[in-house]
Structure 1
Amino acid sequence: MVPTDVPSADRVVVGFDGSGPALRALDHAAEEALRRNVALEVVCGWPWGLHGSKRGTEPREQTERERPGEAITPNEAQTLYRAGRAVTDAAVERVASRHSDLRTIPHLTTEPAARALLRAGRAAALTVVGTRGHGGFTGLLLGSVGLRVAAHCTRPLTVVRGEAREPHGAVLVGIASEADADAVRFGFQEAHRRGASLKVLHAWQYPAVPGVLPSAELYWEGTDQQRRCEAAVPAFATAVLREEYPDVEVHTESVYEGAARALVEASTRADVLVLAAHRPRHSLGLQLGPVTHAVLHHAHCPVTLVPVA
């Protein structure tokens, strides 16, 4: 049951199963909750994968779609509950030992991982997941539960990527066009909360025309014109927000390079990378573009997706 005593968007939600990546996600989520002055909700699923069949087989990992083929006994249910509760309690204790003033809400559920996180995330300022997991969140792998949540979340989602390192004091936003305005605003807010600088990066490539071989002079003239137009994209996107957030140091850059490669390389010097997640309406299946997929798999820092209608 999802707690209902916290106002809408007045919490940070984190998926937790006790694994190493989940610990990093928990620590990151606690810091985000403190920055926002909101509660932290720790979502943990029952460790169904620990339950073997009655034929005496060894416990096996289990996908999100699976459920035990045979009904479990009350004793087995109690054992599973205690195991899940132990994981949740360990998370709460870890947060309390580091941030005694942070309100933490334990949420133990039997729902599939992605569904539980999406449901809890509807009332959250931010949802946080690690790159992979085990136990109750067996599918919490980048490419499985994490990608499902990324494809369908309605509120901002952070995937905690990269190795633990000293902060750079920088927030990076990747922008393709003015349609990414929500991500740029989130980037300003995040930089303001962190007391960090903000870099808005726009990557582009000059479109080739099949079957047409322009002269070198015409090609470079066209490219130079295109460069000026592309350089205006991040400058225009940040113009109004600079006035709203005068305390944020802003840098804009337009590079002639593939977007995924440029963003992954720039992420080595950032504390968080922010991207807009555009999704077509009434579309089935995963709805993330190739650049987003590449960044989620290879970025060197946590990645925050901001859903855009």
Structure 2
Amino acid sequence: MTTNRIVVGVDGSIQSRQALRWASRLATTTGATLRAVTAWEFPATYGWATWPSDWDPPRDSRRLLTETIAETFEEPVEIDLVVREGNAAKILIEEARFATLVVVGSRGHGGVAGVLLGSISARVAEYASCPVLVVHGDTLPPEVPEAPDGKEENLIAG
């Protein structure tokens, strides 16, 4: 069952902040709910590995998500926050089953400089069951023009 929901992948990178801005603008324009999703997984290790004893992936991921949102917007924005364990692309593809749109940055943390499309955004674009918007660079979403009656004009064809 698809709901009027826009899902956005957030990893704290500049590209994911731009994706968050786009998703927020589109949600406002279309009246959709906005769902910010971040994923975490234990690093693959081949042998003995250590990480800080105070490392709490769910807590730290939620903090990253809330800090990214706070730093992205000047005013509070109504957003559903989702923090899940697992592969980011797989989780975004799962979230797409109930969305009208998924928005991702062209590349996030772990990307190689100069790559136009990261592995997560490419995988989500290929397998998501709804349209996917991949935001490149520092492109900002367009301003929504006001209609003559003062109501925002819906620029997105449904």
Shift of 1:11: 1.3
In structure 2, what is the equivalent of residue 108 of structure 1?
83
In structure 1, what is the equivalent of residue 70 of structure 2?
93
Correspondence list, 1:106-145, <5 A: 106-134=81-109, 138=110, 142-145=117-120
Flag the structure with higher helix content.
Answer: 1
In structure 1, what is the equivalent of residue 37 of structure 2?
43
What runs of 5+ residues in structure 1 fail to find an aligned partner? 1-6, 50-66, 170-191, 196-244, 246-309
CA distance in 1, matches of 2:138, 2:73: 24
**Does the Cα contact within 8 Å between 1:139 and 1:145 map onto a contact in 2?**
no
**Does the Cα contact within 8 Å between 1:14 and 1:43 map onto a contact in 2?**
yes
SS at match of 2:154: helix
The count of residues paired between Structure 1 and Structure 2 equals 146
**Does the Cα contact within 8 Å between 2:15 and 2:138 map onto a contact in 1?**
no
CA distance in 1, matches of 2:143, 2:66: 32
What runs of 5+ residues in structure 2 fail to find an aligned partner? 145-152
- Residues 69 and 83 of structure 1: CA distance in aligned 2, closer, same or farther (over 3 Å): farther
- Residues 139 and 74 of structure 1: CA distance in aligned 2, closer, same or farther (over 3 Å): closer
- 1:98-157: CA deviation from partner (whole Å, max 9, x where unpaired): 3x4x431111111101100000011111100001111xxx46971411111111111010
**Does the Cα contact within 8 Å between 1:47 and 1:84 map onto a contact in 2?**
no
SS at match of 2:106: coil
- Residues 88 and 47 of structure 1: CA distance in aligned 2, closer, same or farther (over 3 Å): farther
Q: Residue type matched to 1:193 in 2?
A: N
Larger RCO of the pair (alpha carbons < 8 Å, separation 6+): 2
Q: Residue type matched to 1:31 in 2?
A: R
Normalising by structure 2, we get a TM-score of: 0.74
- 1:256-305: CA deviation from partner (whole Å, max 9, x where unpaired): xxxxxxxxxxxxxxxxxxxxxxxxxxxxxxxxxxxxxxxxxxxxxxxxxx
Are 1:27 and 2:34 matched, yes or no? no
- 1:68-113: CA deviation from partner (whole Å, max 9, x where unpaired): 4468889748433332121111134346643x4x431111111101
**Does the Cα contact within 8 Å between 2:106 and 2:137 map onto a contact in 1?**
no
- Residues 78 and 149 of structure 1: CA distance in aligned 2, closer, same or farther (over 3 Å): same
**Does the Cα contact within 8 Å between 1:15 and 1:129 map onto a contact in 2?**
yes
- Residues 120 and 165 of structure 1: CA distance in aligned 2, closer, same or farther (over 3 Å): closer
Q: Percent identity?
A: 28
Q: Residue type matched to 1:108 in 2?
A: V
Greater Cα radius of gyration, structure 1 or 2: 1
The structure 2 residue matched to 1:10, chosen from 1, 4, 15, is 4
In structure 2, what is the equivalent of residue 150 of structure 1?
125
**Does the Cα contact within 8 Å between 2:21 and 2:141 map onto a contact in 1?**
no
CA distance in 1, matches of 2:71, 2:97: 25
Are 1:193 and 2:154 matched, yes or no? yes
CA distance in 1, matches of 2:56, 2:3: 34
